[in-house]
Structure 1
Amino acid sequence: LCNCSAVGSVSTAECNGTTGQCPCLEGYTGLRCESCAPGFYLEQSSQRCRPCGCSPAGSRSAQCDDSGKCQCKVGVTDPKCDRCSDGYYRFNETTCEPCQCNNRSTTCDSLTGTCLHCQENTEGAHCELCKEGFYRSTHACLRCPCSTVASTGTCRIQPGETAPTCDKCKTGYTGPNCNRCDNGYYNSDSICVRCKCNRNVDPALTPRVCEPDSGECIGCLYHTAGFHCEECEDGYVRDPEGTNCTRKEATLGPETKEFTTSAPNASKATSFSTAVINSTLSPTTIQTIFPLSSSDNSTSAFADVSWTQFNIIILTVIIIVVVLLMGFVGAVYMYREYQNRKLNAPFWTIELKEDNISFSSYHDSIPNADVSGLLEDDGNEVAPNGQLTLTTPMHNYKA
């Protein structure tokens, strides 16, 4: 009797007459084909020999264990040893190559070797770069000191420097770390906000435009004032259009015109009280004392003098002129009166004697001389020939 295996032999009744070797199916071996051949294993569920299927490149041998798992080389995995383990790539005829990830990842693409899941804020094919928003320090990638509100959030260390510099600040921010407000902006709750000065500050003259911490405008122009240059200076009022500050209307003359100083967008020409100035000052004097300019930021001396002071100056000049004229006229009048009195006054000579008083005068030589008022007593008389008779309670005297 052959006694061949019913599972592993071709026929249970056929065998070699000399040796007794039964003809075995693929995967079986033994005299009666009762065992699995090398490269095969016994499947427990079916009790049949199955091929191991181990990869020649990845396995140490063609044999596998009872579960069908092959013995893999270093860097190779899977039951059949046909895939690179984590941390290895490029399965080839010899072995898998280890991933080159600078110790910042344990896995890479099994075909290309590109590192996967880079750690410590790194990126790149070999985890050799810092992620966006980080910069490389000595041994690690550190976060950039750049706010995404104020900058692009990226930075780099320039050659020869130890501290990073932000790549690009957003509008309104400045500084190496974009942590300061730029000119024309101020800090409002840690956010840089544009200065609100109603276009009444010239950045060319005042680059900061406003205080960086409070937002108060610096150097208001065009006769404006206030926290935001929204008001007019003393002596100025808002024009009917509500855009410019104009000088208050003068009250000296009936035809006093308004003095205006306009911002660049104004269409009115600069003017002032021509009725008063034309009547008191020459054109040369006007140009010297009150230079007029159409420049946007006029700084003339006249503009610096308030309208009230100007009125006081004009009134003072007028009063001085009037007083001088009155003094001159009075002096002339008094001089003429003095001359007239000197010519019309009679000259008397009185001679006292024991019995009479003798008067002599030259009023007869002066035409229309009046001597009737010289002696006011009722007892005194004037004779036609010019002699005076003095009458007293005791005596009568003739002259």
Structure 2
Amino acid sequence: SSFTNQNGSAMSRLQFLNFLARMRRISWPMAVVGNVRAVRLQDASLELAEVSDASSAAGRPVRGVERCACPKEFSGLSCQLPGRGFFIDTSGGRDVSQLTIKPCACSNRSELCDPFSGQCLNCRDGFYGKKCEVCPPGHVIETGSDRKTICRPCRCPGQPSSQCPHFLNSALQRYPRCPRNFAERCEALGSDMDICTCKEGYDGVNCERCKPGYYGDPARNLPCQPCPCSGNILMEPGSCHNITGECLRCQNSTGYYCELCTDWMFGDSVDAKNCTGE
């Protein structure tokens, strides 16, 4: 209770423990009598201990090491660590007097956070982020009949399959991408339909088909891909087969990928695109 910070304020237990953890040397005054050339410190020791079952412990008990009964905010042998659901706020930098212990702020979607950064861990209901506050792209925030807010995958074009749970437990900045979910974002319209803003290459109210110039079948979980036609088609319906991607309407070229000049023409159909009959 007699320890104080540099500003004169009383030092808390957390501040005192952090002070001890960062201490690099101990200095003390001494009186020198006569012509002394050197001073030597002998028989200095520091006791260490491990928690073990007293009935099976090897070695002698260490009486000078205590095991504290910590309040909920702290944990560890000497209450030197944050307790479950708490973290050390280091926003004040290395100034020990500014260190405080705070509860995890996870928007009621997790009880755990990193003990030193406060980053929330194991967020529930599809959210992620430092405070479990972020709903990832391709998902929509929805409030259920129980007034609980969730972040669910967009139904664009269909409901999540067994490969993608209705609620996503995301770790930090990573989250799984749901099959049959091809939206950048969406807006819930009733209980069984969403208005979708589709990703590039997808079209339809629910991203259920590919745009012209793309092939695939989103309704069957086949993603839309650009037609592999060497840039020799117009971006219009029927330019390539909607499932296989075979090029059907090549411009001044031919072949499965529009990779050849047409008959009676010569040049480079792929790179230079200079097929000519002259």
Question: Structure 1 length as normaliser, TM-score?
Answer: 0.31
Bigger helix share: 1
Greater relative contact order (CA < 8 Å, ≥ 6 in sequence):
2
The structure that has the greater radius of gyration is 1
Question: Structure 2 length as normaliser, TM-score?
Answer: 0.42
